[in-house]
Amino acid sequence: EVHLVESGGGLVQPGGSLRLSCAASGFTFSSYWMHWVRQAPGKGLVWVSRIDDDGSSITYADSVKGRFTISRDNAKNTVYLQMNNLRAEDTAVYYCARRSGYTDYDLGYWGQGTLVTVST
Amino acid sequence: QSALTQPASVSGSPGQSITISCTGTSSDVGGYNYVSWYQQHPGKAPKLMIYDVSNRPSGISNRFSASKSGSTASLTISGLQAEDEADYYCTSYTSSSSWVFGGGTKLTVL
């Protein structure tokens, strides 16, 4: 069974940094692209970033480009999101997600999310 | 990377059908057959309902169907049930090798 568990969220001051982790199990991690998606309180889903199976291809949403870095460690079955220069508008639940297996372009499996709060 | 456009809310009575639209551009919805739809209940992670415009994953009721015409995708739920009340999001792959979500639609079952 596919299992994704995010961790690393918490309270951070504006301008600060945080690293999120997503531990994967139940599938061959090194064969799948991984995504981060966020959702501000009471708001909609926003795609953040994607990393391909070996980390050679990475894309970001414009809103986080230059501040966030996605990476993965296939030996540890973990994907990361390093978030720097955090702003109040980055406050959100951050989900990691994986495609379903039917196609490369959906998000079929999701973690439970980890909350990041950027505030003084 | 502008969000895809969805109606903020739709409603219907049990047994009725509703349709949620999702409008993008030729750089996303109109350019690729990679539209997917998600259902999200309060406090829960999203759930994949439709992939690649019109395909249902295993276990998803055939009351859920979807299509695309030009740069607008649509999700139809027939035979509305109380448990269908949730937020629904569309997403599309884009020409920038990124993904973009719609703003979400709150479905109320009256």
The reported pLDDT for the residue numbered B1 is 74
**Each residue's pLDDT tens digit, B7-52:** 999 999 999 999 999 999 999 999 999 999 999 999 999 999 999 9
- Best mutation target among A35, A50, A107 (most B Cβ atoms within 10 Å) is A107
The C-alpha of B44 sits at a distance from chain A's nearest C-alpha, in angstroms, of 7
For range A12-26, the mean pLDDT:
98
Q: Determine the residue of chain A that is closest to B6 in CA distance.
A: A44
Of B51, B97, B99, the CB nearest to A102: B51
Strand-pair category, B9-12 with B105-109: parallel
The reported pLDDT for the residue numbered B29 is 97
**Each residue's pLDDT tens digit, A37-85:** 999 999 999 999 999 999 999 999 999 999 999 999 999 999 999 999 9
- Picking from A25, A24, A28, the residue whose alpha carbon sits closest to that of residue A36 is A24
Residue B3: which pLDDT band, with cuts at 50, 70 and 90? very high
The reported pLDDT for the residue numbered B99 is 97
Residue that the structure tokens 């990475």 belong to = A58
Under an 8 A CB cutoff, do B99 and A47 touch? Answer: yes
Residue A73, chain B, CB below 8 Å: the answer is no
Residues pairing with A95 in the sheet? A37
For range A17-43, the mean pLDDT:
97
- Picking from B4, B38, B36, the residue whose alpha carbon sits closest to that of residue B23 is B4
**Each residue's pLDDT tens digit, B55-101:** 999 999 999 999 999 999 999 999 999 999 999 999 999 999 999 99
Higher pLDDT, B110 or B1: B110
**Each residue's pLDDT tens digit, B40-50:** 999 999 999 99
The C-alpha of B75 sits at a distance from chain A's nearest C-alpha, in angstroms, of 15
Of A102, A105, A113, the CB nearest to B93: A105
What percentage of residues in chain B have a pLDDT greater than 90?
98
- Best mutation target among B6, B9, B51 (most A Cβ atoms within 10 Å) is B51
- DSSP sequence for chain B: -PPBB--SEEEE-TT--EEEEEE--TTTTTT-S-EEEEEE-TTS--EEEEBTTTBPPTT--TTEEEEEETTEEEEEE-S--GGG-EEEEEEEE-TTS-EEEB--EEEEE-
Of A63, A106, A111, the CB nearest to B51: A106
Of A57, A59, A105, the CB nearest to B34: A105
Residue A99: which pLDDT band, with cuts at 50, 70 and 90? very high
What percentage of residues in chain A have a pLDDT greater than 70?
100
Residues pairing with B20 in the sheet? B75
How far apart are the C-alpha atoms of A94 and A80, rounded to whole Å?
11
Integer angstrom CA distances of residue B75 from A12, A23, B38, B88: 39, 32, 10, 9
Per-residue tokens: B21: 């639209």
Q: Determine the residue of chain B that is closest to A57 in CA distance.
A: B97
